[in-house]
Every structure is written in structure tokens, then in C-alpha cells.
Amino acid sequence: MERFTLKKLIHMISQREISSAELVSIYFQRIKKYDHFLNSFITLNQESAEEQSLIADKKIQAGNYDLLTGIPYASKDIFCTKGIKTTCASKMLENFVPPYDSTVINQIKNSGAILVGKTNMDEFAMGSSNETSYFGPVYNPWDLERSPGGSSGGSAAAVASGIIPIALGTDTGGSIRQPAAFTGITGLKPTYGRCSRYGMIAFASSLDQAGLLALTAEDIAIFLEAMSGFDPLDSTSVEEPVPQYSDSLHNSIAGKTIGLPKEFFNNSLDTESQRILNQGIEIYEKLGAKITEISLPNVGYSVPTYYVVASAECSSNLARYDGIRYGYRDDNTKDLDDLYRTNRQIGFGDEVKRRIMTGTYVLSAGYYDAYYLKAQKVRQLISNDFEEAFKEVDLIIGPTTQSPAFNIGEKIDDPVSMYMNDIYTISSNLAGLPALSHPVGFFDKLPIGMQLIAPHFHEYQLLNFCHLFQQETDFHLQQPQAFLDD
């Protein structure tokens, strides 16, 4: 079976070319056939999904259905799902079954889409390779010896291999865009506050944002309309109208100005990636956009700034996991201190513990001003750089990653090298800006991604640029050959 876009599946269902029940059955067959190679799912929701597909078919037959009715999707295992395990890929939450749905899951459920399962991820979204999962690493469908990126690697691998048409992810410092680049698909991190964070298990509260991974910008535009909007349950949600993203996909970009930050095109970037990115920039020029060099003078401080802020917030958010109210609990302990110590020692993996300890250190007495407060000041400078740049340009373009996907095991024992994978993506999280990665070419049969960054709440512009690019190219339609049915 070919990989179908979401747009194609919606057309097939509306024209009665296929039923929702048949569609859900096909995707579960593909998951059964292929996911043992990928390890992209932690939990499947088959019985419930099949029941919902029958209900969806009745609505479709009666003509009383919504655009996404009967469409299967997957969710990163960080969104709370009522009655379905939500593990965050951690032993700490291995058996946690939430009593409620996150707002985003509830919005998508109300739109008629059907949750097929929960995808694998780096533990508590901490990682850039999907190797820190308690349930084992995820493998890249383009090369099973390589990483699909992280932390939303399970969602990316599932979409890229065609075992699901679209999937939810989260992005704290690049965790949607980097996996999208490594697996040759499209990934969007919306503006901070665009999508509700209620019921999305927190890593770094001022950085985390829900987003999407799909084959095309058009697919993301359709789904984003369903999951966006103000949520009174989320204090970080912004009361901003949700546009019809699909309506602006075909707008001309002639005369629009694209900024190329000189800080992004430096020695950190792989030579072949640079060459392929230049070819992608030429396509945008062909579409009528003007290219100009810009500077983001403080963006070079993004990585250290991010790892101070994110680790501090991680330390605070994960303090709640003590094994008393919920989470892993070891009953063979001597006293309360031993209970806390043992539960957290066994319940958390090495990377999570590393970040908790770093965060606790930078928040401790005598170091708060030297590290955390200073990082917040630099964060504001980075945000100011973007604000100044957007006075001159409509969009910023750069690489998503330094190189194509690296091998499993190549960086896991070198945290600093792993952290540098986010060098191009972190700055937009620090500034709360929307950003998107789309495939721009291949090197040595591995996908290369290009990143687009826009002003706050200009997701429509990212999707518009990307859609026009995808009308001119077919990189997003190329498939990993090992996952094509006979």
C-alpha cells in the first residue's frame, strides 16, 4: 500500500471509496506487519478504535459527519488519554492510566478522528535520538541502524513508514522538527500558547508545545484547525482566533522576503546539507520570494541558555514523581527518605536524572542568579533578535539539523554532542515562535530537512510557503522502500 496523505484519505471516505472500519483495519495490519522493525508504538488502542470506526461509518452514511470523522491518527505517549496508558516512555509511569483526556486529545476526538495508539518517545521527552525510552529505541525507516530523532521519534517513524497517516508530537527544543528532518516528513511546532498544554505531561513548561507530524503541509493545516484554540484550563493558552489554515495554502509568495541568518550557515553545518539547502532556497526564489542575509547575534547562546532553563523547569516539574501519589513505587524501603530515593533512582532513566540534577543545581541558593536568571536574560535577547529580524523579513529559513540521521548508539554516551543536535531548532522555542521542518532533498539515501520560522501566530505563512514548495517538488512523497507492501 502506498502512503496516503490525510487529504487523500478524507476524499476516499467522503466519496465512499473506503469505509472508516476498512481504513482502521488496514493501518492495524500495517502496524502488525512493520512495527516490530521500528518499535514506534508503546500502546495500541485497537478494540476501541475498531468500535469508533463503526460509529463513524454510521455517521458518514447518515451524512452527519465532520471533516476528520473516521480518520485514524496516533499520539505521542505524553498526552493524557482517558482509560489508555500514558507512560511518557518511563518506568516511572509504566502503568499510569489517566482518568481524563488532555484538551488536545479531546478536541481531536470531538472532530471525529480515531486514536490508533500511543507512540514511543524519549523518556519524558528528554532526548534527541529516541534512545532514552524505557521501552527501547525507535528505528529510522530509511535505515534501521539509524536514529529517527527525538523526542517524537515514534510519531515520526510511524508516519514516515506509512503505518499511520498523521501523528501528534511535542516540541520543547526541536523534538518535532528534528525527527521530521531525519525521517523525510513535515513537522510543525506551533506558536507557544496556540495549542493547549492541559493534560500534556510537562517537561519544561515555558517551552513545551503540542504539534504535528505528517507527509504534507496541507495535512498539517487540516489537523491543526481541529486541535488549536484557547483553553481556560491552561494558563499558558492564548486567546487568539484560529484561522482556516487550509484557505491560505495557495497564496502567492511573490515579493515575500526570506531571511537567511548568517549564524545558521556556518561550520556546524554538514557540507552536503548546505549544498542541498541552497538548492531548496533556489526553489523559493523561483516561487518569487526575495532572499536576504540577516543576523541573529545572540542565537549562538541558544544551546546553553536552553539547557539551563529546560533543566530547571524539568527539575521542578518532575519533583511530583515520588511513588506515593502515583508512579513507580518500591515497597522494600526502610523509611520515607529511602522510599523517595529508591523510587526516583529506579523509576527514572539516566538522561532524566542528569537533567533533574542539572536543574536542581542551577536553581539552588548561590547559583540561581549566576545561571538561571542570566539564562532568562539571554533568552530575552534571543527573542529580541527575532523581533528585529521580522521587521525586515517575512520568514526565516535555515537548516533543521547539522547532518542526516546519525547511527543508533553513536551519540548516546556523549550528552554534549547529543545536545548540539538541537543547535538550529532551540532558538524558536526560547522565543515561542512557530517553526516547521520539511524535506528538501536526500544525501546518501537519507532525508535532509529545511526549517522555516515565522512571527508569532503566523503558522498559516509557514504552511503556505511549505505547501507551494511541495507543489514544486516530490521529496515529501518519496518512501522508505522497505515499508512498501508487495
Which residue numbers are catalytic?
A: 76, 151, 175
Angle between helices 20-38 and 6-14 (to 10 degrees): 150
Compute the distance between CA of residue 364 and CA of residue 359 in angstroms, rounded to an integer. Answer: 9
DSSP string covering 343-360: HHHHHS-HHHHHHHHHHH
Q: Assess contact for 475 and 441: CB atoms under 8 A.
A: yes
CA 341 to chain centre: 32
SS3 443: strand
Compute the distance between CA of residue 309 and CA of residue 372 in angstroms, rounded to an integer. Answer: 6
Of 381, 399, 386, 400, nearest in space to 454 by CA: 386
| Grid coordinates belonging to 251 | 497564496
| Grid coordinates belonging to 255 | 515579493
Of 144, 407, 402, nearest in space to 272 by CA: 402
Q: Considering only CA atoms, give the Rg of the chain.
A: 21
Of 397, 373, 201, 375, nearest in space to 285 by CA: 397
Of 43, 235, 203, 66, nearest in space to 120 by CA: 43
Of 153, 146, 147, 145, nearest in space to 170 by CA: 153
Helices (H) and strands (E) in the chain, counts: 15, 11
Q: Label residues 265-280 b or e (16+ Cβ within 10 Å = b).
A: eeeebbebbeebbeeb
